[in-house]
Amino acid sequence: MNKAKHKLRWLAVNVCRIVLAVTFVFSGFVKIVDPKGTQYKFVDYIQAFGWEAWVPEFVPLALAISLAVFEFCVGINMFFGMRRRFTSWLYLLFMLVMTPLTLYLWLTNPVEDCGCFGDAITLTHAETFIKNIVLLLMSWVVFRYFRLMTRFISERNQWTISLYSIVFGLILACVSLYRLPVFDFRPYHVGADLKAAMEIPEGLEGPVYETTFVMEKDGVREEFTLEDYPDDTWTFIESKTKMVSEGFIPEIHDFSIILTPEGEDITMNVLADTSYTFLLIAPHLEEADDSNVDRINELYDYCVEHQYAFYCLTASGDEMIETWKELEGADYPFAIADDITLKTIVRSNPGLVLLKNGVVYNKWSCNTLPTSDQLNAPLEQSLMGRLQLDSRLMVTLRVLLWFLIPLRLVVFADRIWVGSKLYKRMKHRKKINNLLKTRKMRKKIVAGNWKMNLNLQEGVALATELNEALTADKPNCDVVICTPFIHLASVANVLDTNIIGLGAENCADKEQGAYTGEVSAAMVKSSGAQYVILAHSARRAYYGETAEILKEKVNLALANGLKVIFCIGEVLEEREAEKQNEVVKEQLAGSLFDLTTEQFSNIILAYEPVWAIGTGKTATAEQAEEMHAFIRATIAEQFGAEAAENVSILYGGSCKPSNAKEIFAKPNVDGGLIGGAALKCADFKGIIDAWKA
C-alpha cells in the first residue's frame, strides 16, 4: 500500500512539474522573443493605474526582459529537476503573488487582456485567474514533495545549465530588440494577407468603428470625424478609434491609413496595390530613432525612381510631422494611423514594412534597414522583393539549435574541466574542508542505555556521580542517559540539564487508554525527559516491534516534543550474507521515510550491528564508517543533502573507552549509543572523553 501511494505521489509530482515547466518556458520564451510587446503591456498597466509620474521610462523594458528571462529560466530548472527545493520555492512564491493579483485585475479590468502569454495566446483576466489557480495548486504539490522530482541531469551540471539559460535568454531578448521578434504571433507577420484578415464572412455584420480626430486651432481643441474633417488651418493632435456597435470581429479590424493633411482614407488603395508599397512605421516621431535617417531618405529616392509607393505612418500630430520633415529632410508623404496598431505592426520605431497586393513581404527594424547595396536593382529582380517567409517549424528548429548546440559545448567544456588535474585537486581540497566543516556542525553525542539494570537507588546514585564528574570536567559533546521508566522522575531531579540530557528506553505506540503496563510519550515527557530510544534491536527481537508499530511510536514521540534516538542494524546472518545495506535501508524506510524534513531534524540515528551487542565483538572502525556513510547517503536520497549532513549518526555495539577514540575519529561517526559501559561512571566518562583527544 505504501509503495502504491509512493508511486502515485511520484507520478502526481512529476506530471505537475512538467506542466509547470512547459507553461513557464513557453510564457518566458514568447516574452523573450518580443520584449517590446511586454514593455507595451507594462506601460498599459502603468497608465491604467496612473503611475506615469512615478515610474522612469526605462523600467517597463527592464521589467519585461527580467520577467521573461525569470520565467524561462525557472521553467528550464523545473524541467530538468535542477535545484529542486529552491526552484519549487520560487514557483510557489511567484504563484502566491500572481494569483491574487490576477483576481484583482479580473475584478477591476484596467486593461483588455493580461498579456501573460504575449501575443501567442490571448487570455481574458478570468481565464488567467483560473489558470493561475491550477498552477498554484500544482506548485504546492511540487513544493510539498519536491524530493520526488526526477532529475534529468547530474547535480554537477546544474549551475552550468542554469547560468547558460540566463545568458541565452538575455542574448535572445537583445537580438529581438535590435532586430525584430524571432517569432511574430501578430496578424501583421510576414506572409500575412492583410486584406483577407480584414474581411467579414458573407452574411455576417461586422462591428462599426468610429475614428475621431482631435484637432486644434487658435488654442481651441475639437473632435472631428472623416465626414467633417477640417481644412489644413487646423493642427492634428491625436486620433481615437472606438467600437460603436458589435458584430463579427475580423483578425485585423483597426488598420486604417488617413493621408495627411487631406484626411483621405487610402487604406484599401494601399492594400489593393499590385506593385510594391513601403510603409515606414513610426508610432511617435518624437521618440523615433533617427540614427539611420539617411537610409530612409535613400530608400524613398529609390522608390521614386522605380515608382513604388512610400508612406510614413505615424500617430504624431501635424506639428511633430513638420518638425521631422524639417530636421530630417523628409520629402515622403505622411499618413495618420492608430498608435497601438502601429506598435502591433512592427516592434521598432521607426520600422519598415514591405507590402505587395496587401501581403506582408518583409519587415525591418530601424537597425536593419536596407543598405545601398541592396537597392541597386528593381525589387522584381532582387532578393529583397521576394516573399521572406520562414515556416514556424523551421524557426522553432533554428531556435532550438541556438539553445542546444552551445549548451552541449558548455557541458562538454565543463566535463573537460572536471577531468583536469587542477579541478580534481581543488575538489579534493574542498571535499576535505566541507567534511571538516560539516563534522563541526553536526552534534557529537554520547548516549548511555542502561537497559533493565540498576534499582532506583543505584540509578539515582550513578546519575548523581556522573553529574558531579561532568560538572567538574566539562564534556566536549552532548551527553544523554536513557534509564528505565521508574528512574526518570527521580534522576531528573539530580541532573543539570545543561550538562546531561535525560531519555527513556522506550514509549508506547498508543496515545492513551486501557493499555495496562504501557508508558505513553506524553508520560515520558512529563517526567522531565527530552529523549527516547526507539527500535532497539532487543525490542525488535523480543517484543516483535514492526515497522508500522515503530512508525506510530516515532510520530507520538515527536508530537510530544521528544528527540528520538532511532536504532537500526543487521544480525550476524544478514551481515554474512552481505545484506546489511538492504536491511538498514528497509528499516529506515519502514518507519521514518513518511516524516517531513522538519520532523526528521529531531531524529538521531544509532547504527547497532546486532552481532556486536553484548557479545564482546566489535565492528571495526572501517566497518562502522562504511555503514554510517551508507546511512547518510540513504538519508540524502530521501530528505536531501542538508538533512543528511546535519543528522547525527551514533555507533552502538560494544563501544568501550579503549576503542571509542578510533571509532569516533571516522568522519561519519558522530558518537556512540553505549550499553554496558554506561553503567559505570569511569567507563562512561572515558568514552565521553574520547572527544577531547
Task: Give the span between the Cα atoms of 31 and 25, in whole angstroms.
Answer: 10
- Give CA–CA dist 267/252, Å, rounded: 12
Say if CB 77 and CB 83 are below 8 A apart: yes
Q: What distances in angstroms separate CA 684 from CA 216, 486, 620, 649, 658, one per listed residue?
A: 99, 21, 20, 19, 11
DSSP string, 382-405: SGGGS-----HHHHHHHHHHHHHH
Can you give the C-alpha Rg of the chain in angstroms?
Answer: 38
> ∠290-294-299 over CA atoms, to 5°?
115
Helical axes 158-178 vs 392-419, angle rounded to 10°:
140
Which of left, alpha, beta for 516 (phi over 0: left; psi -120 to 50: alpha)?
A: beta
Question: Any catalytic annotation for residue 608?
Answer: yes
* Options 71, 545, 570, 608, the catalytic residue: 608
CA dist., res. 523 & res. 58, Å (int): 65
Query: How far is residue 550's CA from residue 591's CA, in Å, rounded to a whole number?
Result: 6
Q: Which is the catalytic residue, given 125, 253, 487, 536? A: 536
Helix, strand, coil in percent for the chain, rounding step 5: 55, 15, 35
Q: Is 487 exposed, middle or buried (0-12, 13-18, 19+ CB in 10 A)?
A: buried
**Largest interatomic CA distance in the chain:** 116
Pairing verdict, β 603-607 and 351-356 = unpaired
Three-state DSSP class for residue 547:
helix
Q: Give the residues across from 479 on adjacent strands.
A: 446, 500
Q: Does the annotation count 548 as an active-site position?
A: no
| 130, 156 contact by CB (below 8 A) | no
| CA distances for 3 relative to 9, 10, 589, angstroms | 10, 10, 11
Catalytic residues: 536, 608
